[in-house]
Chains A and B, each alone.
Chain A
Amino acid sequence: MTTNPKKLAKPPEHPLDDLIRTERIPHIWCPGCGIGTVFSSCLSAIKATELPYNQFTMVSGIGCSARGAGYIKLDSFHTTHGRAIPFASGIKMARPDLKVIVFSGDGDLFAIGGNHFIHAARRNMDMTVICVNNLTYGMTGGQVAATTPNMAKSTTTPLGNPDSPFNLPLLAYAAGASYVARWTILQTRDLTTAINEAINHKGFSFIEVLSPCPINYGRRNKEKPIDTMKLYQDHTIIKHGANPAEADIDFGKGVVIGKFIHIDKSTCDDRYTEMHRPCIDD
């Protein structure tokens, strides 16, 4: 059989194409948005665990980053605003064998869902929480969020944000999380390793990922996406085991990134099984 030389060869397949719903790609994230990088890093980490894909489930709330659950070709749930963690806790209690990943944004996890976050961390629910922190409410038009830095401009604070932001690693540590890390999308390899470690870690794992929002944060603060990446390159300090209390986001003095906490603690489903299902071993 002869082949037609003019006919184009089949387009090459991306190595992660088996984990994404390719019919939905290109995704809705803006040019220069870092959520896609975090998402692909998360997929690489899932792949690197070498566990079967039906052992994973992804839960997300509302927001730009929460669209991730719609693009992954696994069992995934797109829940109501702020309720990703309660939903994930329910999955974990019903099916303790599953690896539950919560992929959501800062507004969803820490503003409306803040209480759920601290209580899941207190109980040490065995799940991996990936928080894409773009320092603003991106999807609704760039309003001031709980993580917007002091004096940063937003739609609702045109003269600059008068308040100080949350220090997310400190919040997670104080609430009782057993794995806490922070990376930016520029340190992609470290981020993938951290997500892989967090998936394998038994206990509440929290990873904050700084990511540019060029349209709704960068534009109002005179930052092009490449400038934000340069900021991540020049004004971050990698310091493993650093005290989370020093990890506030202030690019003037340098943002501390790295793995802050990695300890072993008994998890919620272990304690529950021990108390209420003593005969489950057989």
Chain B
Amino acid sequence: MAFWRVPLDTQEIQVTLGTVCIIDDRCKGCGYCIEFCPKDILQFSEKFNRKGYHPPIVTKEGECVNCHYCEIICPEFAIFSVESEPAETK
């Protein structure tokens, strides 16, 4: 995220990381999760699911901040995120 000045406590802020789980066969391709993801990490995939829709796919692995917005906006119970352990602590 772009700031007009770097916050003073930016070193101390721990940003949570998440993993997006997608249940492909429930998706109906409405695109809400893709449109409203605050980190823009989702995209329509090329593959088809069982019903012929294109489910979303995570394009930027490791950038999810586990905000759960895709989970609560999805009308199909097809996507959710779980907290993942940070890879390394700086």
Query: Quick one: which of B75, B76, B77 contacts A17, CB cutoff 8 A?
Result: B77
- On whether the beta carbons of B72 and A41 are closer than 8 Å, the reply is yes
Which chain B residue lies CB-closest to A29? B75
Q: Mark B71-90, 1 if CB is under 8 A from A, else 0.
A: 11111111010000000000
Is A121 located at the chain interface by the 8 A CB criterion?
Answer: no
- On whether the beta carbons of A12 and B76 are closer than 8 Å, the reply is no
CB distance from A26 to the nearest CB of B (A): 5
B residues 39-90 in Cβ contact with A at 8 Å: 51, 53, 69, 71-78, 80
The CA-CA distance from A44 to B74 in the complex, in Å, is 13
Chain B contributes a number of interface residues (CB within 8 A of A) equal to 23
Size bracket, chain A contacts: 20 to 34
Is A155 located at the chain interface by the 8 A CB criterion?
Answer: no
Is A143 located at the chain interface by the 8 A CB criterion?
Answer: no
A residues 138-197 in Cβ contact with B at 8 Å: 185-186, 188-189, 192
- On whether the beta carbons of B73 and A188 are closer than 8 Å, the reply is yes
Which chain A residue lies CB-closest to B32? A229
- On whether the beta carbons of B30 and A225 are closer than 8 Å, the reply is yes
Given contacts A32-B30, A189-B72, A229-B32, contact A12 B21 (CB under 8 A): yes
- Chain A residues whose CB sits within 8 angstroms of the CB of B25 once the complex forms: 26
CB distance from A57 to the nearest CB of B (A): 21
- On whether the beta carbons of A37 and B75 are closer than 8 Å, the reply is yes
Which chain B residue lies CB-closest to A39? B75
- Chain A residues whose CB sits within 8 angstroms of the CB of B30 once the complex forms: 31-33, 225
- On whether the beta carbons of A44 and B72 are closer than 8 Å, the reply is yes
CB distance from A209 to the nearest CB of B (A): 12
- On whether the beta carbons of B72 and A37 are closer than 8 Å, the reply is yes
- On whether the beta carbons of A35 and B75 are closer than 8 Å, the reply is yes
- On whether the beta carbons of B72 and A26 are closer than 8 Å, the reply is no
Given contacts A14-B80, A25-B26, A26-B51, contact A40 B74 (CB under 8 A): yes
- On whether the beta carbons of B77 and A188 are closer than 8 Å, the reply is no
- Chain B residues whose CB sits within 8 angstroms of the CB of A225 once the complex forms: 30-32
The CA-CA distance from A17 to B21 in the complex, in Å, is 14
Which chain B residue lies CB-closest to A26? B26
Query: Quick one: which of B35, B69, B73, B76 contacts A27, CB cutoff 8 A?
Result: B76
- Chain A residues whose CB sits within 8 angstroms of the CB of B36 once the complex forms: 186, 229
Residue ranges of A at the interface with B (Cβ–Cβ < 8 Å): 11-12, 14-17, 20, 25-27, 29-37, 39-41, 44, 185-186, 188-189, 192, 225-226, 229
Contacts A/B (CB < 8 Å), 30 sampled: A12-B21, A14-B23, A14-B78, A14-B80, A15-B80, A16-B77, A17-B77, A20-B77, A25-B77, A26-B26, A26-B28, A26-B51, A26-B76, A31-B30, A32-B28, A32-B32, A32-B75, A33-B75, A36-B74, A36-B75, A37-B32, A37-B74, A40-B77, A44-B72, A188-B73, A189-B72, A192-B72, A225-B30, A225-B32, A226-B35
20 more CB-based (< 8 A) A-B contacts, given A11-B23, A185-B73: A12-B21, A14-B78, A14-B80, A25-B26, A26-B76, A27-B76, A30-B28, A31-B53, A32-B30, A32-B75, A36-B74, A36-B75, A37-B32, A39-B75, A40-B72, A40-B75, A188-B72, A226-B31, A226-B32, A226-B35
